Amino acid sequence: MPQSVADRHVIRTRVVEVGGIPTKVLVAGSGRPVVLLHGSGPGVSAQANWSSLIGQLARDFQVIAPDIAGFGDSIGPAGTTYGIKLWVRQLVELLDALALPSATLLGNSFGGGLALAATLRHPERVDGLVLLGTPVGTFEMTEGLRSGWHYEPDEAEMRRILRIFAHDPALVTDDMVRERYRASARPGAQDAFRRLMPEPGPEGTPVKGVPEESLRTITQPTLILHGREDRVIPVELAWRAARHIPNADLKVFSRCGHWVQLERTGEFLREVRDFLGRLS
């Protein structure tokens, strides 16, 4: 029976066993499948990154937003080794479990890096990419990444870190701080984040994203969105990605930090809808 208009906007929660991990997934809508991949950092989850946007995107698309293994409520059994192989496997098995031959991947920061890695390993499962604040190549560890690596659960420190992510500190509300702090305080919450990058050194630390030469092999249409004032992933990396991905368009947002989807929501939705419409 077809979904009603009202039903399409309802966000449902599922738990799907993929990659050997019970994976929490937020789903809504119908039509072209779009997988939203959250970033990393203390207390992050699909809910934290995407909850205010899923209903709006679900007006036109089938939206799937998983908690990536090691983050949110997708926690592996004791001894789980988090890393790119597991994360790609989890994503591909999720598409299989939902009977989706392919999907558009929309990734924020680490989620963008995961989207690129999945595209390189399984290009037939990806029909388009939207990359937000995504690391590529090798770059110097930033203040935002350094702060996240050293973070230990503390509400005041959570507030300080989140204000690095947003250009306008007013975006960081008390509710956001409390929600992220509570999520960060569970045992092992930092394990997956610390697998992403080396421990910061005293005199600067190089961080490696997807190699630039690998990006040249990506043929899928790609939309790159980045905040000019991003203090977590420098905007120069967006230009780097746009130069190397053959079919990439880039938009840089002024007065915007690491969270394009939250800081410039209206423009983000217009850009994404227009891009996805061109894929149809």
Q: Kindly name the residue from 38, 167, 226, 258 that is annotated as catalytic.
A: 258
Cα 231 to Cα 227: distance, rounded to the nearest angstrom:
9
Which candidate in 45, 147, 230, 244 is catalytic? 230
Q: For Cα atoms 275, 276, 280, give the angle at the middle one, nearest 5 degrees.
A: 120
Tell me, what CATH number does 237's domain have? 3.40.50.1820
DSSP the chain: -PPPHHHHT--EEEEEEETTEEEEEEEE--SSEEEEE---STT--HHHHHHHHHHHHTTTSEEEEEPPTTSTT--PPTT---SHHHHHHHHHHHHHHTT-S-EEEEEETHHHHHHHHHHHH-GGGEEEEEEES--BSEEEPPHHHHHHHH--S-HHHHHHHHHHH-SSGGGS-HHHHHHHHHHHTSTTTTHHHHHSSPPPPTT--EEE-B-HHHHTT--S-EEEEEETT-SSS-THHHHHHHHHSTTEEEEEETT--S-HHHHSHHHHHHHHHHHHHHH-
pTM, 2 dp: 0.94
How far apart (Å, rounded) are the C-alpha atoms in residues 280 and 278?
6
pLDDT tens digit at each of 280 positions of the chain: 444 444 556 899 999 999 889 999 999 999 999 999 999 989 999 999 999 999 999 999 999 999 999 999 998 888 888 999 999 999 999 999 999 999 999 999 999 999 999 999 999 999 999 999 999 999 999 999 999 888 999 999 999 999 999 999 999 999 999 999 999 998 878 888 888 888 898 878 999 999 999 999 999 999 999 999 999 999 999 999 999 999 999 999 999 999 999 999 999 999 999 999 999 7
Check if 154 is active-site: no
Domain of residue 36, residue span? 5-279
Q: Which residues pair with 178 in a beta bridge?
A: none
Other residues' Cβ atoms within 10 Å of the Cβ of residue 162: 24
Q: Taking Cα atoms as reference points, which of 52, 28, 21 lies closest to residue 38?
A: 52
Catalytic residue among 40, 109, 147, 184: 109
Is 51 part of the annotated catalytic residue set? no
Place of tokens 């746009």: 242
Domain count, the chain: 1
pLDDT number for residue 8? 56
Contact, 260 vs 226, CB < 8 A?
yes
Q: Which two tokens stand for residue 15?
A: 């738990």
Q: Is 109 a catalytic residue?
A: yes
